[in-house]
Structure 1
């Protein structure tokens, strides 16, 4: 399978990799389980450190996963079996879509084989590691063999930028707005054709990792982006010339506040009315994001009785949050903490939920089709305010422009 993949990508040879991140442990049907068990039956074991993406079950809080009908019972049972099968292959049971938040993350220039779109784009862009956008089954094959094709984003040429996004026209206040980054990512993904790499100019040099995470996750969800460069921010892009293809950009997009507002409106399918749930932490919330939520909840606001509030995060981050006393603050306000999975892929939301608020462009992009719900996109503060009121409460981004 690895050789065939390499040939299809036009690779010249195979290269050794230093780590894998496997997305295949999310249950998509019987073939998922058959493939993993087939590897296990043949004595396969991973040859490199291999972390696991989210599964279909919260193993620490199994009661949170709903089993309302035979189909959901099967997903629950087979999902648990699939997670066990990948652990038996020697993979680390990390169960997170944000493996870059774990210790020992890849270093600059290191060749890896990662799946899960947001993990791929973060590794390539923010860390400067090198991986193609691998998918289910190919990921575990790379882990078992220890090889990946030398093609695409593993090569210098394959990492050059061909589409320019100019953000120099955005004001300082807009660049400090929480939603700016997932919305830029959504536009980057929507306007970048498959096989092209975007480069962004005009972002602050000290843009935090969590904002780059939100940008990359949205770009990878809205399109096929597996690498973005941000000039003066990401490690391969000290200058535009350092990453731009010699032939220059094939397209130039100059982003303005109205573009961000239009993107928010496109992702938001319900901007007013009754709110049923809030879901934050897609990709999995970092410790800094959990601190920010806890800070908003320190006055101990009472969520509306008819609003469910979920935070998704990884096990390692949850342990750190407990040590800092953050979990107590969240749970006192009624936040339900989900690990090992995510609310848009697992049966967690109750049947009464019709409108959900999130600060994640990735969640907003996938949830309407996955769950059949309406979505409102807001800041973390707007999510808390709306959960308290029981009504979708959004403030125009233009209110913060200077």
Structure 2
């Protein structure tokens, strides 16, 4: 039986707040009832996944909330939309869909959401503290906020995400509750060589492996080296959340509530132990490529959005040499602003790189309409590219991607993988 506070009951009854507040509270309460939650939990931030145009209903829903004077009550960032608002013609949407996509993004702005338009809000200033209750959408962002930052969120999807932001409440179930965050599966990396564990490209591959091994279970990964970067952990979380329903994976020594594997397991023996060996890593890497080595048609990077550090690493690797195929880098406005401080954005464009802001090439039509082969260092791009764009993905390291863009065909450094 769902129990509501006096404040929540007043909003639900319409005796306080706007009609938009009431509408949002009704949605959250109905969701909590269906999920079997016994109460609502106050949240301190939200990240809205429902900014991407999938049909007119999403835009009309958000416009109705805004018309009823609904306003977010907590800091709220926006995920990617279907348009690059700085260059709307970059997306090949029909006029009617373009109009509705803009209306959807504008409705979120009217409700007080920040115009971040990024799938990596944690790299744009949204970094809740361990134990904070939040209502985040977007699979990689949810995995990161739980796994790396130690805040608590379930995977909130369209409609419910904005309702949580407006009501500052979420159904108190799932990963909001400590007892549901205990790991039951142990993934042991102790058999892998140290150089591999340090490589950037290992992290998206490990993430893809975790997603397939864990599914909906909560795993703890033991054996990662200390000092992993935000970008490496971002890639891991994105891979895990793409290939499985992963919203939390404990990384022993990294996840705030998992100083070691034993703590993540709650002092209980794991239901299963999976030792990871070199062959498993190679199989996971190979599973991210649907095309055979050969000519490529483009390189796509930035899912989740590329960071300032990743863009500058790309520039270093490029060494000013031209590319034979189009290169797309998807990034947030916060990263673009950092690049603009010293002209790094212009340096990227001078190489022929197309910068995609506010959106990404796998969720809206930006790539050339005739599909071909896409090379990427993103497990998430690799997982979704074929179904969303028709392009067959080839996975490689960032140096592989740069070298392949120069030659126009797949270049792999096989030695990295042993």
Q: TM-score, normalised by structure 1?
A: 0.95
Give how far 1:246 is off.
Answer: 4.7
The residue number in structure 2 matching 1:61 is 87
> What is the alpha-carbon distance in structure 2 between the residues aligned to residue 185 and residue 9 of structure 1?
28
Structure 1, residues 104-155: CA drift from partner, whole Å, max 9, x if none?
A: 5211111110000110010011011111111111100001111012211111
SS at match of 1:90: coil
Q: Which residue of 2 aligns with 1:273?
A: 294
* Residue 400 of structure 1, CA deviation: 3.0
**For 2:371 and 2:155, how far apart are their aligned partners in 1?**
33
Tell me whether 1:40 sits opposite 2:66 in the alignment.
yes
- Per-residue deviation at 1:247? 4.2
Aligned partner of residue 55 in structure 1, secondary structure: coil
Partner of residue 374, structure 1: 392
Does 1:328 pair with 2:346? yes
Who is 1:345 aligned against?
A: 363
Are 1:82 and 2:98 counterparts?
A: no
CA contact (8 A) 1:185 1:217 kept: yes
Check if 1:149 corresponds to 2:149.
no
Aligned pair partner of 2:374 in 356, 361, 364: 356
Q: Counterpart of 1:92 in 2: which secondary structure?
A: coil
Q: Is the 8 A contact 1:277 1:353 kept in 2?
A: no
Q: Is the 8 A contact 1:52 1:96 kept in 2?
A: yes
Partner of 2:310: 289
TM-score by length of 2: 0.91
1:327 CA displacement: 1.2
| Cross-structure match for 1:302 | 322
> In the alignment, is the contact (CA less than 8 A) between 2:129 and 2:151 conserved in 1?
yes
Partner of 1:110: 132
Structure 1 residues 224 and 104 mapped into 2: Cα distance closer, same or farther (>3 Å)?
closer
**Mean alpha-carbon deviation: is it higher for 179-188 or for 8-17?**
8-17
Answer yes or no: is the 8 Å Cα contact 1:271–1:393 preserved in 2.
Answer: no
Aligned partner of 1:14 among 16, 20, 40 = 40
Report how far residue 293 of structure 1 moved: 0.7
Question: What is the DSSP-based 3-state SS (H/G/I as helix, E as strand, rest coil) of the residue aligned with 1:338?
Answer: strand
Is the contact made by 1:171 and 1:401 (CA closer than 8 Å) also made in structure 2? no
Deviation string, structure 1 residues 330-380 (Cα, Å, up to 9, x no partner): 111111100100100011001244110000000100110111111100011
Bigger RCO of structures 1 and 2 (CA < 8 A, at least 6 apart): 1
Task: Note if contact 1:97-1:116 (Cα within 8 Å) is conserved in structure 2.
Answer: yes
Q: CA deviation at 1:93?
A: 1.0
Query: Contact 1:9 / 1:152 at 8 angstroms: preserved in 2?
Result: no
| Secondary structure in 2 matching 1:278 | strand
Deviation at 1:9, TM superposition (A): 2.9
Q: Please say if residues 174 and 257 of structure 1, whose CA atoms lie closer than 8 Å, have aligned partners that are also in contact.
A: no
Aligned residues: 392
**1:74 Cα shift?**
2.8
Moved more, 72-81 or 95-104: 72-81
Q: In the alignment, is the contact (CA less than 8 A) between 2:371 and 2:390 conserved in 1? A: no
Deviation, 1:76, is 1.8
Contact 2:198 2:225 in 1 (8 A): no
User: Once the two structures are superposed, what CA deviation does each residue of 1:196-221 show, in whole Å capped at 9, x if it has no partner?
Assistant: 21110010011111111100101001
Deviation digits for residues 281-310 of structure 1 (CA, Å, limit 9, x no counterpart): 10001111111111112x211101xx1100
Show the counterpart of 1:391. 409
Correspondence 1:179-258 to 2 at 5 A: 179-194=201-216, 196-258=217-279
Q: Check the 8 A contact 1:311/1:336 in 2, yes or no.
A: yes
In structure 2, the residue matched to 1:400 is: 416
2:282–2:417 Cα contact (<8 Å) kept: no
SS of structure 1 residue aligned to 2:148: helix
The 1:2/1:248 distance shift into structure 2, 3 A limit, reads farther
